[in-house]
Chains A and B, each alone.
Chain A
Amino acid sequence: EADIYQTPRYLVIGTGKKITLECSQTMGHDKMYWYQQDPGMELHLIHYSYGVNSTEKGDLSSESTVSRIRTEHFPLTLESARPSHTSQYLCASSFGGQPQHFGDGTRLSIL
């Protein structure tokens, strides 16, 4: 059963639109992460958070932004979507050094 939820699962939208990808977890995990997964399957960390009001940029530069106002919620926002943002986005959470739990992802297509 999923303890971490991502919505929407699929999104097709036009260039220039503002997009928010939602991620929520019910496990009380302190750390949350956003990954971009390319067609070759490699994962790229774009944002992470150590807890409420903490956000950090990951290894891959991204035009997206994140917020962590509540422990369970870690939304990702694109202010103006472009075709280069087309990808799969995975959200994950963990507690301390324990294994991550992943959502099922959002597949985003920008026309």
Chain B
Amino acid sequence: GDSVTQMEGPVTLSEEAFLTINCTYTATGYPSLFWYVQYPGEGLQLLLKATKADDKGSNKGFEATYRKETTSFHLEKGSVQVSDSAVYFCALTPRGGSYIPTFGRGTSLIVHP
């Protein structure tokens, strides 16, 4: 079945540091890929998405590129802020069929001033 593997956390950075959270996936066909963010005490919210190979999703300074050849969708941000501290989830949705998403285990990001 489908699976998503993302790097374990917590990831601890100083403000203005560069962020990378790795995500790789296994799926049949060409799934849609997503990053969600969960702030303390809240549900998940969509951060960015990409629906086909070489697409780049971007939002709030975060970026991720759909790499079909390496089955990856790594999340990056050039300069993190304290307010970016949250848990980040990589996910995929199969194209067609059930559309039931598969999530990674989540990566906690802690940004210090």
Residues of A in contact with B (beta carbons under 8 Å apart):
6, 31, 40-43, 45, 48, 90, 92, 94, 96-97, 99-105
Contact of B77 with A by CB under 8 A:
no
Nearest-Cβ distance from residue A23 to partner chain B, whole angstroms? 11
Q: When the two chains form their complex, are residues B44 and A90 in contact, meaning their CB atoms are under 8 A apart?
A: yes
Query: Contact check: which of B34, B49, B100, B103 meets A43 at CB < 8 Å?
Result: B103
Given A48-B100, A99-B34, also A41-B44 (CB < 8 A): no
Chain B residues with CB under 8 A of A94: 99, 101
Query: Contact check: which of A41, A96, A97 meets B38 at CB < 8 Å?
Result: A41
Residues of B in contact with A (beta carbons under 8 Å apart):
32, 34, 36, 38, 41-46, 49, 87, 89, 93-96, 99-101, 103, 105-106, 108
Given A40-B105, A41-B105, also A97-B45 (CB < 8 A): no
Instruction: Please count the residue pairs between chain A and chain B whose beta carbons lie under 8 angstroms apart in the complex.
Output: 50
Top 9 A-B residue pairs of the complex, sorted by shortest distance between their CB atoms: A102-B43, A41-B106, A99-B46, A102-B44, A97-B99, A42-B105, A104-B43, A43-B103, A97-B93
Q: List 17 A-B contacts (CB under 8 A).
A: A40-B106, A41-B38, A42-B103, A43-B106, A45-B100, A92-B43, A94-B101, A97-B95, A99-B34, A99-B93, A100-B36, A100-B44, A102-B36, A102-B43, A102-B44, A104-B43, A105-B43
Give the CA-CA distance A105 to B42 in the complex, in Å: 7
Chain B residues with CB under 8 A of A48: 100
Give the CA-CA distance A111 to B86 in the complex, in Å: 29
Q: When the two chains form their complex, are residues B87 and A41 in contact, meaning their CB atoms are under 8 A apart?
A: yes
Chain B residues with CB under 8 A of A101: 46
Nearest-Cβ distance from residue A12 to partner chain B, whole angstroms? 16
Q: When the two chains form their complex, are residues B41 and A104 in contact, meaning their CB atoms are under 8 A apart?
A: yes
Give the CA-CA distance A42 to B94 in the complex, in Å: 20
Give the CA-CA distance A102 to B32 in the complex, in Å: 18
Q: When the two chains form their complex, are residues A42 and B100 in contact, meaning their CB atoms are under 8 A apart?
A: no
**Most chain A CB inside 10 Å of its own CB: which residue of B43, B45, B108:** B43
